[in-house]
Structure 1
Amino acid sequence: MKTFVTSAFLVVMGIAAVPTAEAGELWRATGLEQPESALFDAADNRIIVSNIVGNPGDADGNGYLSVLSVDGKMVTRHWTDGIDAPKGMAIAGGKLYVADITKVRVVDLASGKLVASIAVPNAVFLNDMTSDQSGNVYVTDMLADTIYRIDGDRPELFVTDAMLASPNGIFADGIRLIVASWGKGIKPDFSTAEPGGLLSVDIATKAVSPLPGAQKFADLDGVIAIGDTIYATAYMTGTLYRYHVGGAPEAVAHFKPGSADIGTDGKSVLYVPLMNEGEVAALKLD
């Protein structure tokens, strides 16, 4: 597992660059270390960024969280230290939850202090997180076709389904979870035998269903929704996609490979972590 992840990310970092998005870009924050996720904290009007710092599968204690202002300035570089390889994050009940390989870390939002670690039994590679309207937190296990749910400090298996096809990004959207799938048959270079797409998981019934017209088009990473529009990143190519029900995914921005777990202010701005560049880009939506 750890060898697999190491080789995958080293190969990805060597992929030739594609043109960087210009239109709509507001700013770039630099000097970060493998930023995987950028989460907008509306209560404090700031952006929290997870920094992996090393092998994404190694429990090495090198990872940390940073805080940016909404105009891209560094507020606190080492806001939370002592994490292994932090990735997706979610806010619920006044706490910040952070996916960290096989654990979910709990951070006090006021101080940035690590206050708890929740071990997730049988977890392989926890990746992205989201919270629903009831305060439940969900986390994907990318290499196990699984989503876990955490209620307070109690983890439970929510759904395991081969249709999830390496679930990476996740976003709670009303009565459903929107999932960004990396794809099936992941190879050593992190490419896939079959690319991923967008899925919906009914929170009440746990039924998994593909979103029409958005299947098998890219190895997807992060995902968010604003109104009836879904945005998703493809890590391997650096592409940002936009999707509406009834249509097809449309590429709306291109970065170098490494675009990861996007965040949003919920209105008109996306925050895109550029993991291999050590940057976070803010994009103004049309």
Structure 2
Amino acid sequence: MKRFIIPALVATIGIAAAPAVQAGELWRATGLQQPESALFDAANNRIIVSNIVGNPGDADGNGYLSVLSLDGKIVTQHWTDGMDAPKGMAISAGKLYVADITKVRVVDLASGRLVASIVVPNAVFLNDMTADHTGKVYVSDMLADTIYRIDGDRPEPFVRDALLASPNGVFADGGRLIVASWGKGIKPDFSTAEPGGLLSVDLASKVVSPLPGARRFADLDGVIAIGDTIYATAYLTGTLYRYEAGGTPEAVAHFKPGSADIGTDGKSILYVPLMNEGEVAALKLD
């Protein structure tokens, strides 16, 4: 696999650091190690966080998962060890699926025990994950313009399309996947020749469609939807965007560079991993 490097301070090169967000912030969990994803586990009233601990593309065995309480306290720092550079996560049928470079790790949700590793053939850099209403799991491959689908333990290419433009965040929303793309022509500092935007992939037809008014506006990382509103982060600037159909993306919060794969309780709270700060911030939405 090609070496894939995102320096911890890449976003500080030529980019002004935005101030930490104030309005709506409930708490910050500290003491984490390059937290990339924060997933709300509704069945167990907790937040699961993936910690990369090193180069996001290195199979170095340093990565692990942590558990936070809903008020931002670390319940278990090393809940699941034995990973390389864990990133996005999804829950399906009592199991936690974790994107880990070229594998998808499967964790027993009750115990935190790593029970399986699913090798995804031809994967380059697996990033975010989501599960649809039938329990099928999807994982983006950012460096291959591909989204894979996993049914049980069987991975298969779901859609491969240049329109995905380095797909990072994925979120199952009814009969579609919402995709946050990083953009085209990734440069050494991880800026892009053409910034990314928000896309929709129809689960039945697999047709990829840009969301109107949300094309080519930022190098996007995480994405979630609450009702008809989509939220997405831009890693390099730390910006949190809000988008509604018929409108254009609006910046609603500013963090330091490094905001990654956001999670939500599905109602009114967002969980924002701040990779470069080693923190997760909880925001109360208006």
Q: TM-score when scaled to structure 1?
A: 0.98
Determine whether 1:257 maps to 2:261: no
Contact kept? 1:8, 1:188, Cα under 8 Å? no
1:12 alignment partner in structure 2: 11
SS at match of 1:43: helix
- Summarize deviations over 1:118-161 as a string: whole Å, max 9, x none: 00000000000000000000000000000000001000000000
1:133 alignment partner in structure 2: 133
Question: Which aligned pairs between 1:29-48 and structure 2 lie closer than 5 A?
Answer: 29-48=29-48
Question: Which aligned pairs between 1:149-188 and structure 2 lie closer than 5 A?
Answer: 149-188=149-188
Instruction: Tell me the CA shift for residue 281 of structure 1.
Output: 0.1
- Summarize deviations over 1:191-248 as a string: whole Å, max 9, x none: 0000000000000000000000000000000000000000000000000000000000
Amino acid at match of 1:88: G
Q: TM-score when scaled to structure 2?
A: 0.98
Question: Which aligned pairs between 1:260-271 and structure 2 lie closer than 5 A?
Answer: 260-271=260-271
1:62 alignment partner in structure 2: 62
Give structure 1 regions of 4+ aligned residues with deviation exceeding 3 angstroms.
Answer: 7-10, 13-16
More displaced, 31-40 or 16-25? 16-25
Aligned length: 285
Instruction: Tell me the CA shift for residue 11 of structure 1.
Output: 2.2
1:233 alignment partner in structure 2: 233
Write the distance in 1 (CA, Å) between the matches of 2:2 and 2:80. Answer: 24
Determine whether 1:111 maps to 2:111: yes
Contact kept? 2:6, 2:56, Cα under 8 Å? no
Question: Which aligned pairs between 1:76-95 and structure 2 lie closer than 5 A?
Answer: 76-95=76-95
2:276 alignment partner in structure 1: 276
C-alpha RMSD of matched pairs (Å): 1.0
Instruction: Tell me the CA shift for residue 17 of structure 1.
Output: 1.8
Contact kept? 2:48, 2:65, Cα under 8 Å? yes
SS at match of 1:21: coil
Amino acid at match of 2:245: V
Question: Which aligned pairs between 1:196-215 and structure 2 lie closer than 5 A?
Answer: 196-215=196-215
For structure 2, which runs of at least 5 residues remain unmatched after alignment? none
Amino acid at match of 2:208: V
Amino acid at match of 1:23: A
- Summarize deviations over 1:5-56 as a string: whole Å, max 9, x none: 3255442355542111100000000000000000000000100000000000
Amino acid at match of 1:22: Q
SS at match of 1:163: helix
Contact kept? 2:238, 2:258, Cα under 8 Å? yes
Contact kept? 1:18, 1:256, Cα under 8 Å? yes
Write the distance in 2 (CA, Å) between the matches of 1:180 and 1:6. Answer: 20
Contact kept? 2:8, 2:276, Cα under 8 Å? no
Report the CA distance shift for 1:104/1:13 in structure 2 as closer, same or farther (over 3 A).
Answer: farther
Write the distance in 2 (CA, Å) between the matches of 1:275 and 1:217. Answer: 22
Write the distance in 2 (CA, Å) between the matches of 1:42 and 1:57. Answer: 30
Contact kept? 1:13, 1:276, Cα under 8 Å? no
Contact kept? 1:8, 1:190, Cα under 8 Å? no
